[in-house]
Amino acid sequence: MSVFHRKRIAENGKVRSSGKWTIGFTDNLGIARRLPGFTDKSASLELERGIKRLVSARASGLALNREAIRFIEMIPEAAKNKLTDWGILDVRRSAAGKPLEDLIESWKKNMEARQLSAGHRSESVARVRRVFQGCRFRRVTDIDPSVENWLADRRRDDNISARTSNSHLASVKAFCSYLVKSGFISSNPLTGISKTNEAADPRLERRPFSADELSALLAATEKAEMRFGMTGRARALLYALAAESGLRWSELRGLVKRDFDFAENSVSIRASISKNASNAMLPLLPETARRLADSLRDFKPDSPAFPGMWRGHGAKMLHADMDEAGIPVFDEFGRKADFHSLRGTTATLLSEANVPLPTVQQIMRHSTPTLTAKHYIRLSVVDKARALEKLPDFRLGKPESESMKATGTDGEFFDTKFDTNGSDKGLFSAINGYGKSTSKPNKMDEHETNKPLEIKGLDVWSGRRESNPRGRLGKPELYH
């Protein structure tokens, strides 16, 4: 390699040197190349050294390190195009100097090609742009772990929640993973950043609807006036389907008539409207299928199953109907019921009916049963107490006859009043009955004698959010 001034003979016969330095080198194929440099010799020498590293990496097939990628960013566009044409610079590597906005648009198209939902695409892109603008990242080589500090500042100064912080981090990491897979960068610069503990920063606590609440909601909604372009009957059917199937708001919004198979009592969720971009099929209860078939009888195959002006107003619409039914939005523990609570109700009611967790996971379409149990199944204190009643009686000094019962030698030890094996027979009777409550009386209150544990307080919804955020709620009292 060499750096020199190209010379030419002027019209007057004098020899003149060009203003810029020229870099002469041999590429990885052994071909002699010449590339214009800068007017400054030291800058041209730096360019020569960088080109030498690129040629060496191309010849050996080694991945470019961060320093080499940063060098590519600094190369003038004309020189970059020349190196790309000669095969010294991979066309994907030449994008390292592109503005991040251009690569974000490429990522957006990639997500669209993977059939990720429109809502997921728009939210992910908005989060990435917000982080990059806050960190003042302009190009790929600017991205570094300072993202972690910026998010920490936002949690402290702007009071954003840990969950919001984690969602932004996840989106930026996903963008960087796309850059790695596409060959724009060699490694994800944010790999070492961990999520913030969401349990230590609870904000919104959701609660499921009880069977009685759901029954009252459906009965009141069916008789209510038109809201958001939907009749009361249509809204009641929407809520019933949401609580029965666990479908998300966006999925319900995207359903059309042809997605339903009333002969098989099932509904298909297309990948284009599903959160995980996968096709799925869920069963429908016969009564729900009958009501849907009647409601959609005159609809065209591609007509929305639930038309109206409720896009972006699902919570407002539900809260208006809850007010009609006399159901409070917040309970005494500060937990909120919103449209997504209908999905949580599905998992909770199935769990209370002793449906195996793997089955609940499949209905909810979660990747792991842990996700289902952690974030969606909300057992009340009463339900947990019933489970504790299944334990053998190991108290000291109990009568011999009672001890024999505990081992099963003298009759049953467990009182059948806590048997929940049959509770699934009418799991969604509140839905299909529209106002007919099938909930059983609390039999723990019917039998005060020989009750080993009595609990004050209502449901405690543990899981994604703490049931007692920042200690502002009283704890349920446990006493014998």
pLDDT at 369: 77
In this structure, are residues 207 and 347 in contact, taking their beta carbons and an 8 Å threshold? Answer: no
Closest CA to 316 of 243, 432, 377, 229: 229
Of the spans 209-223, 388-402, 414-428, which averages the highest pLDDT? 209-223
Of the spans 53-67, 70-84, 86-100, 305-319, which averages the highest pLDDT? 305-319
Closest CA to 361 of 351, 352, 353: 351
pLDDT band at 74 (very low <50, low <70, confident <90, very high): confident
Per the prediction, the chain carries an average pLDDT of: 78
Integer Cα distance of 234 and 226 in angstroms? 9
pLDDT band at 317 (very low <50, low <70, confident <90, very high): very high
Q: What is the DSSP letter of 417?
A: G
Q: Which of 33-37, 51-55, 125-129, 369-373 has the lowest mean pLDDT?
A: 369-373
In this structure, are residues 366 and 334 in contact, taking their beta carbons and an 8 Å threshold? Answer: no
In this structure, are residues 198 and 162 in contact, taking their beta carbons and an 8 Å threshold? Answer: yes
Label residues 18-56 b or e (16+ Cβ within 10 Å = b): eeebebebebbeeeebebbbbeeeeebbebbebbeebbe
DSSP assignment of 254-297: H-BGGGEETTTTEEEE-TTTSTTS--EEEE--HHHHHHHHHHTT
Average pLDDT over residues 209-215: 92
Q: Which of 51-60, 85-94, 210-219 has the lowest mean pLDDT?
A: 85-94
Dump pLDDT digits (tens) for 130-154: 999 999 998 887 889 999 999 999 9
Average pLDDT over residues 106-117: 88
Which domains does the chain show, CATH number per domain? Answer: 2-83 (no CATH), 100-200 (1.10.150), 204-389+420-480 (1.10.443.10)
Biggest alpha carbon distance in the chain? Answer: 126
Alpha helices in 158-204 (DSSP H): 162-181
> Residue 406: which H helix or E strand, with range?
helix 400-406
Strand-pairing partners, residue 4, are: 22
Q: Is the pLDDT of residue 93 over 70?
A: no
Q: Taking the C-alpha atoms of 384, 386, 390 and 394 in order, what is their torsion angle to the nearest 10 degrees?
A: 80
Of the spans 169-183, 355-369, 371-385, which averages the highest pLDDT? 169-183
pLDDT band at 215 (very low <50, low <70, confident <90, very high): very high
Counted residue by residue, the chain has a size of: 480
pLDDT at 383: 61
Average pLDDT over residues 39-53: 87
How distant, in Å, are the alpha carbons of 7, 34, 369, 407 from that of 26?
Answer: 20, 9, 59, 88
pLDDT at 54: 86
pLDDT at 442: 45
In this structure, are residues 51 and 58 in contact, taking their beta carbons and an 8 Å threshold? Answer: no
What is this structure's pTM?
A: 0.56
pLDDT at 408: 47
How distant, in Å, are the alpha carbons of 17, 49, 84 from that of 37?
Answer: 14, 12, 16
pLDDT at 466: 41
> Residue 19: which H helix or E strand, with range?
strand 15-26
User: What residues have CB less than 8 Å from 416, skipping those under 6 apart?
Assistant: none
In this structure, are residues 251 and 274 in contact, taking their beta carbons and an 8 Å threshold? Answer: yes
Q: Tokens 């149990």, residue?
A: 373
Region of 74 (left: φ > 0; alpha: ψ -120 to 50; beta: rest) is alpha
Average pLDDT over residues 36-42: 87
Q: Is the pLDDT of residue 128 over 60?
A: yes
Q: Is the pLDDT of residue 325 over 50?
A: yes
Percent of the chain predicted with pLDDT > 70: 74
Dump pLDDT digits (tens) for 377-401: 666 555 666 666 666 666 555 555 5
Could you tell me which residue, 392 or 161, shows the higher pLDDT? 161
pLDDT at 394: 64
